[in-house]
A and B are shown apart, each in its own frame.
Chain A
């Protein structure tokens, strides 16, 4: 991993189209600004991992029949 030291208002540029700026530092919280092309999704890592986890679980569905699921909607 590349480790760089930055101060408030300083940036890191990745490739020629992604810029990460340190906006503010307060104790152990750092506000970060990300400028990236529209087709580059930016997520908080724990959120991204959670989507992956939920998708994996959903893909493990045992063999279900859609008719059986529909029956459960009749209250």
Chain B
């Protein structure tokens, strides 16, 4: 199927790549089908979460381990059953990225991550009741902290 999108021209979407969000995302409950778009053979950690139901709806997403150490996502049994998770290693965690005018100030939402069960192509947005995580983590700043930590441990 050919999808007309806001950020790309026509994109070919294969049925088997479509991820179903049964509850949609808060604020966008009508979009229940998404695809993750990225260039093959590219190591860019940023990807698009593109709505299949609404071509003009797309989020930039990133895997939080790129800039955050020990990010803990507690998955309780209602999520396990909703996404039909058999093996936790099938689950991919993404953060939604907000990009202001000054790109270097982009932030990631670690409070409400996107979970995808890659085996079943089912996804949802979770809310973490964890005070360590905020709606807006400055990605470049987090990366700097992470870099500092890695250098420190390399010195010892």
Q: A43: nearest residue on chain B (CB-CB)?
A: B127
| Docked pose: A66 CA to B144 CA in angstroms | 20
Assuming the contacts A38-B82, A59-B57, asked whether A75 and B147 have C-beta atoms less than 8 A apart, the reply is yes
Instruction: Tell me the chain A residues, 43-75 only, with Cβ under 8 Å from chain B.
Output: 43, 47-48, 50-59, 61-64, 66-70, 72-73, 75
Assuming the contacts A43-B127, A55-B96, A63-B7, asked whether A69 and B46 have C-beta atoms less than 8 A apart, the reply is yes
Question: Scoring B residues 57 to 80 as 1 if CB is less than 8 Å from chain A, else 0, what string do you get?
Answer: 111100000110000000001100
Q: B89 CB to closest chain A CB, in angstroms?
A: 23
Q: Which of chain B's residues have a CB closer than 8 A to the CB of A38?
A: 77-78, 81-82
Q: Is B97 an interface residue (CB 8 A)?
A: yes
Q: Are B59 and A54 in contact (CB under 8 A)?
A: no
Question: Scoring B residues 109 to 144 as 1 if CB is less than 8 Å from chain A, else 0, what string do you get?
Answer: 101100000000000010100000001100110011
| Docked pose: A50 CA to B22 CA in angstroms | 20
Q: Are B26 and A51 in contact (CB under 8 A)?
A: yes
Q: Which of chain A's residues have a CB closer than 8 A to the CB of B28?
A: 55, 59
Q: Which of chain A's residues have a CB closer than 8 A to the CB of B44?
A: 66-67, 69-70
Q: Are B144 and A75 in contact (CB under 8 A)?
A: yes
Q: Is A29 an interface residue (CB 8 A)?
A: no
Mostly, the A contact residues are: helix
Q: Which of chain A's residues have a CB closer than 8 A to the CB of B47?
A: 66
Q: Is A39 an interface residue (CB 8 A)?
A: yes
Q: Is B152 an interface residue (CB 8 A)?
A: no
Interface residues of B (CB under 8 A from A): 6-7, 22-23, 25-28, 38-39, 44-48, 57-60, 66-67, 77-78, 81-82, 96-99, 101, 103-104, 106, 109, 111-112, 125, 127, 135-136, 139-140, 143-144, 147
18 more CB-based (< 8 A) A-B contacts, given A54-B111, A58-B96, A69-B97: A38-B77, A38-B82, A39-B81, A51-B26, A52-B26, A55-B28, A55-B59, A58-B59, A59-B28, A59-B59, A61-B58, A61-B60, A61-B99, A66-B39, A66-B44, A69-B46, A72-B103, A73-B45
Q: Which 7 A-B pairs have the closest CB atoms?
A: A38-B78, A52-B27, A55-B27, A51-B26, A66-B46, A58-B98, A69-B46
